[in-house]
Structure 1
Amino acid sequence: MEQFPTLRTERLVLDQVKTSDIPNILTYAGNIKIAENTRSIPHPYLEENAIAWLQMTNSGFKEKDNYMFGIRLKDSPGLIGAIGLDINKENNRAELGYWLAEDFWNQGITTEAAKAILAFGFDKLKLNKIIAVYLTTNEASGRVMVKNGMVKEGVFKDHDIKRGHTIEDNTYVSLIQYRMTKSEYKSL
Structure 2
Amino acid sequence: MNGFPKIETERLFLTELKSDDIYEIVKHASNKNISDFTQNIPFPYSEKDAIHWISVANKGFENGSQYTFAIRTKENNEFIGGIGLKVERRDNRAEIGYWIAEPYWGKGLATEATKSIIKYGFEKLKLNKLTSSHLAKNPASGRVMENCGMTKEGELKEQVFKQSEYHDLILYGLTNKHEK
- The Cα shift of 1:78 comes to 1.7
CA contact (8 A) 1:21 1:78 kept: no
Partner in structure 1 of residue 167 of structure 2:
173
Does 2:4 correspond to 1:4? yes
CA distance in 2, matches of 1:61, 1:76: 26
Deviations along 1:47-74, one digit per CA (max 9) or x if unpaired, are: 1111111100000000111001100111
CA distance in 2, matches of 1:141, 1:100: 10
Partner in structure 2 of residue 82 of structure 1:
82
Q: Secondary structure at the match of 1:44?
A: coil
CA distance in 2, matches of 1:129, 1:161: 26
Partner in structure 1 of residue 144 of structure 2:
144
CA distance in 2, matches of 1:3, 1:76: 23
Deviations along 1:121-165, one digit per CA (max 9) or x if unpaired, are: 000000000000000000110000000110110000001221x4x
Q: Which amino acid aligns with 1:34?
A: I
Q: Secondary structure at the match of 1:90?
A: helix
- Gap regions ≥5 residues in structure 1: 165-169
Aligned pair count reads 180
Alignment of 1:123-138 (within 5 A): 123-138=123-138
Partner in structure 1 of residue 24 of structure 2:
24
With normalisation by structure 2, the TM-score equals 0.98
State the superposition RMSD in angstroms. Answer: 0.7
Does 2:161 correspond to 1:161? yes
Partner in structure 2 of residue 185 of structure 1:
179
Partner in structure 2 of residue 167 of structure 1:
none
Q: Which amino acid aligns with 2:29?
A: A
Q: Which amino acid aligns with 1:178?
A: Y
Q: Which amino acid aligns with 1:86?
A: K
Q: Secondary structure at the match of 1:81?
A: strand
- The Cα shift of 1:27 comes to 0.5
Alignment of 1:3-82 (within 5 A): 3-82=3-82
Q: Secondary structure at the match of 2:43?
A: coil
